[in-house]
Structure formats: structure tokens, C-alpha cells
Structure 1
Amino acid sequence: MARMKKLLQFLPDGFTLAIVAMVVVASIVPCYGVGAVIFGHLTTLAIATMFFMQGARLSREAVVAGLAHWRLHLTILACTFLLFPLLAFGFSALFPHLLSPVVMLGLLYISLLPSTVQSSIAFTSIAHGNIPAAICSATFSTLLGVIATPIAVGLLLNTHVGSTGGEGFRGVGAIFAELLLPFVVGQLLRPWIGGWAARNKHILKFTDRGSVILVVYTAFSAAVMRGLWHQLPLSGFAEIILANAVLLAVVLTITTYGSRLLGFERPEEIAIVFCGSKKSAATGVPMANVLFGASTVGLVVLPLIIFHQMQLMVCAVLAKRYVRQYEAELRASGMTVSLVE
């Protein structure tokens, strides 16, 4: 029986299986047209609800502490804008002919992108990490990326940056409207609804995981409609998957053990792992449409789309592992273990 329980710990949970199922469903029945618009609105609603509930639950002291955690923020930004490019461009310099040029270009483009906001915070919440710090770091990463990524692409990838101002300002507006505004409203209403939000933790669990699943379906549907399964031969897909897997594994290893070497506690380690290892497809795909030519953009964003799905699946497994560690600590301290929030 003990051996069976140990084996079951390594099997995917329902959340991970749901993400895989969404990839399969999106490949067979992608949403498009009116359906894509409806699912886009549902995704926005789920994300806004998640941030509203986070704002309603978090104490003002916790938010201020998250803003003041400058050492953690610098570590996450260094992972996003220094570690990733060093790894990708270093790999390109050492092994210039190991990958095809288009796969290498896509890999380099991934390294220059900002972190995700929604999924980074959702996984940090699921794993019982430092949520206020994750919100601050992930949001600032995206805002900085609106400016830094086009410049870096223009300088390092020898492309014409072009007119990115409109896209950038739309991205900033979306961040404030869909993420920060609901969080601020939740904070302002906390004196009246904070107790209710604390008693209804299952709503936050639903919005955390539901928003990730919706993002997977809508993002992968868009990729399928762009001809995801027809743009490269099977060997090309194998190259992308292998290169992405190696990059993600190296970054996750460095963020996990590096945060421990730097003396961060587990909640901060979780924020570093989930914010510092992510790259935003929501920012990267529309930005690529402006930065690259029409004949190149599809193949450039293909590695990003696959990396995006891969990071969600891997982080779902990691979040489950952190939850098990959290519950084990509660048992060791004699506290009652609750369901995963």
C-alpha cells in the first residue's frame, strides 16, 4: 500500500490532465470566429475574477511587504531578462549549426520576452508562494518588456523594430484593465468582503486553475488556426520540443537551487521559480506580428507557442509538488491539512 501511494504521487493530477486535454481538444476542435471571441471574453473574466479575489483576500500589510521585497524582484527580473538571453545566445554561439536557423531564431526570441503575469501568479497561488511579490514582479516584468523586448530584438536579432508604440500601449492598457484594476478594487472592498473571500477559498482555486486552462485552450486554438501542425516537418517539431525542454529545465534548475543559495524562504522560492521561468505568449505573439515579416512570423512564434504550453504543463506538476511539501510541513507541525487552495 505504501509503495502504491508513492507511485501515485508521480502520476499527473486532474489539473495537469486537464491542461493536456485542452491541448488535444484545441488541436481537434479549435475555437475560431465568434467562438474565439466568446472564449477570449471568458478568459478575461476568469483572470479578472482571480485578481479581484486575490485583492479581496490579501491583507494591506502583505501587499506592502510584497512591494518592498526589492531583492526578490531584482532576482526575478534578472532571471527573465539576463539569465534567459545568456543561455539562449550562449547556446547559439557555442553550437551555431546544431539547430535549424528558424528554430534558433525562435529560441532567441523567446529569451528576450517578459514573464507571464496571469499564469505566474496563478501557479504561485496554487503552490502557496508569496503572492503579493509575484504580482508585483510579474506585472513589472510585462511592463518593462513592452519597451525592452522590441529594442533587444532590434539590436540583437538584426530586425527592424518598426512601429510598436500602439501595440505596446494596448498591452499596458490591458494589464491595468484586466489585472491591476480588479486587484485594486478587491483591495478597496476588502473591509466589507474580506471575510467572505477568506471563507470561500474554493472560488480562488476555481479561478486560478480555470484561467490557466482557458488560456491553454485559447492560445493553442489560435496556434492551430495559424497552421501549427503544417508549418514544420516532424523533425522540426522534435528540434523545437527538445530545445525548449532543455532551456526550461536549465532555467527551472537554476531558479530553484539559486533561490535557495541566495537564502530565500520557500514562499519566495516559489515566486522566483514560477515568475522567473515563464515567457509570455500573450505579449510575444502580437509583438512578433509587428517585429517580423509576414513570411517569418509564423515560424518565429511557433517555438514560443510550444514553450508556452510546455511551461504550463511542467509548472502544474511543480505546483503539485510544492503543495505536497506544504501539507507535509503542516502535518509535521501538528496543524490540520486543508484542501489545496
Structure 2
Amino acid sequence: MGMGKKILTKIWTHPVTEYLKGQWFFYCLAIFIVIARFAPNFAADGGLIKAQYSIGYGAVACIFLESGLSMKTARLMANMGNWRAHLTILMISFLITSSIVFGFCCAVKAANDSNIDDWVLVGLILTATCPTTVASNVIMTANAGGNDLLCICEVFLGNLLGAFITPALVQMYLRGDSFSFANPASGQGIGALYGRVMKQVGLSVFLPLFVGQIIQNVLPKPTNIVIGFLKKYHLKIGSYMLLLIMFSSFSTAFKQDAFTSVSSLCIIFVCFFNFGIYLFFTGICFLVARPFFIIKLFPVEPSKGESSLLYYYSYKLFRPFYYNKRDTICIMFCGAAKTAALGVSLVTSQYGDDKSHLGKLLVPLVLYQSEQVIAAGFFVPFFKKWCRDEQEDNNIRKDIEMGLSDHEVEEDPKLDSGRQKSESN
């Protein structure tokens, strides 16, 4: 009996088993997709639990309430003033991604493949013009050790500006000959769109974040107890809420016959296209966040007495555009992600009462959300290790700068192992 217990314990703690246990999110997601397929009315918009409110507002609000409780106000405000990162992410999220997808869609449309529905191609363009997602990038950035404070700022700014930028981009891309048939009729429903988006961002993102910040500063001890309890028992509220958000998105898509309104080949095409384009966008985000030429042009920090004024001020202006690893992780998750929570509203509001092709338009958006979460989930452990290596290097560097001799550093086994790891890399 004792031997059998040891074997079971060994199996349960085996690295392969630990990895499989770590993928619990995807097992739950698969279960929720099956439920959404056979009982779509339960969690769809306007369904049994009124998911447009209970999940669209409630679940998202829980994520940002927890963020507001756990994040220090001073650090949050400091990240809100990081205009370089905001500019970088907004440029990638709205302009770079949408223009690339539009180019691909024009090429596919020119091929005249009857298996690829034209309205699905329009859905891909609409998806690419949407702002960054509301929930998943915050969860993934935090899990990977990235700058989740900056991520929250991007969610707020991106979705707030998306109400104005997304309709303008849609009008620009659908005005040409290739997709003029899908141009929303005379802006019908655009006014209602702004009101709906402002309401949703305000109530589900800004208000719970603000309430969490107030509670954290007024009642610090009870807040620390609650946060400590969540960490101690590994209660990942954000991940649970994200599952509900995706459950609602799939339920709405199945209820609107989004997946049955187009051919199987078209669905397969969209799945592969979404996955490939997400990886491509993530690579672009990395290259934009850490451009190699900035390090080549500005290898050392200047001093006013020794460096030329041109080098000094150029360094101050451009060198911060080479982001550290924590900020880079945030940029990669935010720049490539697209929202379905607000994206559905952005799509439906622009077309007003004309919902004849709504199912086809939503197929790429719903699939992209699920695929970006799956891909980001696989990135998390790699990004986490990558970020941890930089933190260890910084700790060693700080210790050396504080005056520790080589002998003192080597006597500390923790610092010594970190140094060896840094040198091996």
C-alpha cells in the first residue's frame, strides 16, 4: 500500500504531470465551448443569464477590481504617464495590424476562391481594426511577469479611443472597390456605438479599478489579507472570469449561427490565418519594442560634460523606445490582441439594423479571441523565464554597484548561481 502511494505521488509530481495540470485553463475552455455549442442560449447575449450584463460587465469588472486592489496607485499613475509605450502600442494595435490584414484580405479577394466567403474577409478586417482585448492580455501579462500596470493603462486607453478610431478605420478600408459592398450604410448606429462603448469601458474597467484603488488606500490591512489569501490558495480570479467571457462569446456566436453560415473550408482557413497572423503580430511587436538599431546607435549613457549635445538629447529622446523585458511582454500581448467583449458591439453597432451577415462577420472575431488566448497561454512560461533572467541580472548588477566585492558576491550562493546563469546565457 505504501509503495503504491509513493508511485502515485511520484506520478502526480512528475514534470509531465505538472505541465498537464498547468494546462487546466484549456481543458475548461474546451468544456465551455462544448456547452456553448449545445446550449448556446444559456450564456449568449440576451440569453438566460443575460450575459451582456452578468458576464460582459460583471466578469470584466471582477478582473479590474482585483487589479485595483493589488496595484499601488503611485506605480499605476507612473505607467499612465508612459506616453512612449502608449504611442507604440496604439500604433501597432490600430494601424500596423489593420493595414497588414487589409492587404492580405485584398490578395485573397483577388484570388476569387469560391470557398472563402467575402463577408468573412470583411470580418477579418473588422477584427483587425478592433482595440486590444479587455481581459486576457492583463491576465497573461501578469502571469508572465510583465508590466501588468502598463497593460491596464493600455486597456483603458485602447478601448476608449477604439470607439472613435475603429469606425474611422472601417470606413477607410471598406471605401475601396474590393469591399465597398460591405461599407456600413451612411454611418447608421455610429452615435449609439459611442455611448455603448463609453458605458461599458466606464462601468466594467474604470469604475472597478477606481473602487479597488480607493479600498486599497483606505483599508490597506484588509486588502493585503484578501490578496494574500488569493495568492496562498492560488485562486486565479482573472483566469476564471476570462473563461466566462470566452464562454459568452462562443455562446453568442453559436446562437447567431456564426459557424454554420459559412463553409467548413472557410472556417479552417480563418483558424489557420488567425493563428499565423497572431504569431506574426507578436513578432512585429517584439521588433518594434526592442529595435536593435537603437542599441547600436546609443550604446552608452551620455554625460553632459563628455558627450555632444546631439548625442545627449538624441539618447534622451530615442533610447527609452528600447523597452525593458517587462514592458516588452506587455507590448507583445497588447499589440497583437483584439477584443471580442467590445468588438461585438463595435461590429453590430456599425451595421445598425442590417444583421443579415452578422454571423459571418463575427466568425473571425470569436475565433481570433480564442486562438490568441491559447497562443498567449503557451507563450507565458517562456516569457516568464525570459523576464526572470533579466531580473536576476539586474539584481546582480545592483549588488555590484552598491560596492560588493567579487569575494562577497561569490560567498552568496544565490548571487553566485545567478551570475553563472547570466554568464552561460
When normalised by structure 1's length, the TM-score is 0.87
Spell out the pairing of 1:1-341 with structure 2 (5 A cutoff): 5=15, 13-30=23-40, 31=42, 32=44, 35-37=48-50, 40-42=53-55, 44-98=57-111, 100=116, 101-158=118-175, 159=183, 160=185, 161-191=187-217, 192-193=219-220, 194-202=223-231, 205-261=235-291, 262-292=321-351, 293-325=354-386, 334=414
Moved more, 18-27 or 222-231: 18-27
The offset of 1:229, in angstroms, is: 3.1
Contact 2:289 2:331 in 1 (8 A): yes
- Identity, in percent, stands at 22
Gaps of 5+ in 2: 1-9, 176-182, 292-320, 396-413, 416-425
Q: In structure 1, how many angstroms separate the alpha carbons of the residues matched to 2:286 and 2:27?
A: 24
Q: In structure 1, how many angstroms separate the alpha carbons of the residues matched to 2:227 and 2:100?
A: 42
Q: Deviations over 1:225-268 (max 9, x none)?
A: 11133111111111211221222121012113432325211211
The offset of 1:7, in angstroms, is: 10
Contact 2:79 2:150 in 1 (8 A): yes
Q: In structure 1, how many angstroms separate the alpha carbons of the residues matched to 2:107 and 2:259?
A: 30
The offset of 1:89, in angstroms, is: 2.0
Q: How many residues align?
A: 333
Q: In structure 2, how many angstroms separate the alpha carbons of the residues matched to 1:57 and 1:329?
A: 23
Contact 2:57 2:200 in 1 (8 A): no
Q: Aligned partner of 2:201: which letter?
A: I
Q: Deviations over 1:85-144 (max 9, x none)?
A: 221122234454346322321211111111112222122222221122111112111111
Higher-Rg structure is 2
For 1:338, the equivalent position in structure 2 comes to none
For 2:311, the equivalent position in structure 1 comes to none
Q: In structure 2, how many angstroms separate the alpha carbons of the residues matched to 1:324 and 1:299?
A: 39
Gaps of 5+ in 1: 336-341
Give the 3-state SS of the residue equivalent to 1:281 in structure 2. coil
The offset of 1:331, in angstroms, is: 8.3
Q: In structure 1, how many angstroms separate the alpha carbons of the residues matched to 2:366 and 2:133?
A: 13
Q: In structure 2, how many angstroms separate the alpha carbons of the residues matched to 1:18 and 1:328?
A: 31
Give the 3-state SS of the residue equivalent to 1:282 in structure 2. coil
Higher relative contact order (CA 8 A, sep 6+): 1
Q: Aligned partner of 1:68: which letter?
A: G
Q: Aligned partner of 2:350: which letter?
A: L
Contact 2:79 2:149 in 1 (8 A): yes
The offset of 1:19, in angstroms, is: 2.1
Contact 1:115 1:279 in 2 (8 A): yes
Q: Aligned partner of 2:97: which letter?
A: F
Q: In structure 2, how many angstroms separate the alpha carbons of the residues matched to 1:260 and 1:282?
A: 30
Structure 1 vs Structure 2 CA RMSD: 2.8
Q: Aligned partner of 1:132: which letter?
A: L
Q: In structure 2, how many angstroms separate the alpha carbons of the residues matched to 1:20 and 1:325?
A: 29
Q: Aligned partner of 1:200: which letter?
A: F
Q: In structure 2, how many angstroms separate the alpha carbons of the residues matched to 1:28 and 1:256?
A: 40
Q: In structure 2, how many angstroms separate the alpha carbons of the residues matched to 1:11 and 1:188?
A: 36
Contact 2:101 2:128 in 1 (8 A): yes
Q: Aligned partner of 2:141: which letter?
A: T
Q: Aligned partner of 2:145: which letter?
A: H
Q: 1:136 to 1:303 in 2, by over 3 A?
A: same
Contact 1:54 1:204 in 2 (8 A): no
Q: Deviations over 1:150-205 (max 9, x none)?
A: 12212321312213212321211121111111111111121313422442343885
Q: Aligned partner of 2:248: which letter?
A: T
